[in-house]
Structure 1
Amino acid sequence: MAEESDRRGQGARPARAPRRITPDYLQRAAMHYLERYSAPAAQLRRVLARKIALSCRHHGETPAAHAATLDEVVARCIASGLIDDRRFAEARASTLRRRGQSQRAVAARLSAKGISRDLVGEIACGEAADELAAARIAAKRRRLGPWRRQETRAEFRQRDLAALARLGFDYATARAAIDGEAEPAP
Structure 2
Amino acid sequence: MAKTSVPPRITPSYLENAALHYLERFASSTASLRRVLKRKVVRSVAHWGDDADQALAHIEAVIAKLTQLGYLNDSAYAELKTGALHRRGKGARAIRASLAAKGVGAADSEQALAALAEDHAQPDRAAAITLARRRRLGPFRAAGRAENRARDLAVMGRNGFDFETARAIIDAASPETLTEEDQ
TM tier, shorter chain?
0.7 to 0.9
Q: String of CA shifts for 1:75-115, please: whole Å, max 9, x gaps.
A: 00000011111111101110000000111111111111110
Greater gyration radius: 1
Q: Is the 8 A contact 1:139 1:177 kept in 2?
A: yes
Question: In 2, distance between residues paired with 1:72 and 1:165?
Answer: 41
Q: Is the 8 A contact 2:32 2:103 kept in 1?
A: yes
Question: In 1, distance between residues paired with 2:73 and 2:139?
Answer: 40
The AA in structure 2 aligned to 1:168 is: G
Given candidates 129, 136, 141, the residue that maps to 1:143 is 136
| Displacement of 1:27 | 1.0
| Displacement of 1:173 | 0.4
| Length-normalised TM-score, structure 1 | 0.85
Question: In 1, distance between residues paired with 2:27 and 2:149?
Answer: 39
Q: Where does the alignment leave 5 or more consecutive residues of structure 1 unmatched? A: none
The AA in structure 1 aligned to 2:78 is: A
The AA in structure 1 aligned to 2:45 is: C
| Length-normalised TM-score, structure 2 | 0.86
Q: What's the counterpart of residue 146 of structure 2?
A: 154
1:40 matches 2:40: no
| Displacement of 1:63 | 1.4
Q: What's the counterpart of residue 160 of structure 2?
A: 168
| Displacement of 1:141 | 1.6
Number of aligned residue pairs: give it.
172
Q: Is the 8 A contact 2:75 2:109 kept in 1?
A: no
Question: In 1, distance between residues paired with 2:63 and 2:93?
Answer: 29
Q: Is the 8 A contact 1:90 1:123 kept in 2?
A: yes
Q: Is the 8 A contact 1:40 1:113 kept in 2?
A: yes
| Displacement of 1:26 | 0.9
Question: In 2, distance between residues paired with 1:52 and 1:43?
Answer: 14
Q: What's the counterpart of residue 56 of structure 1?
A: 45
Question: In 2, distance between residues paired with 1:166 and 1:23?
Answer: 42
Spell out structure 1 runs of 4+ moving beyond 4 A: 125-128
Question: In 1, distance between residues paired with 2:154 and 2:27?
Answer: 34
Q: Where does the alignment leave 5 or more consecutive residues of structure 2 unmatched? A: 178-183
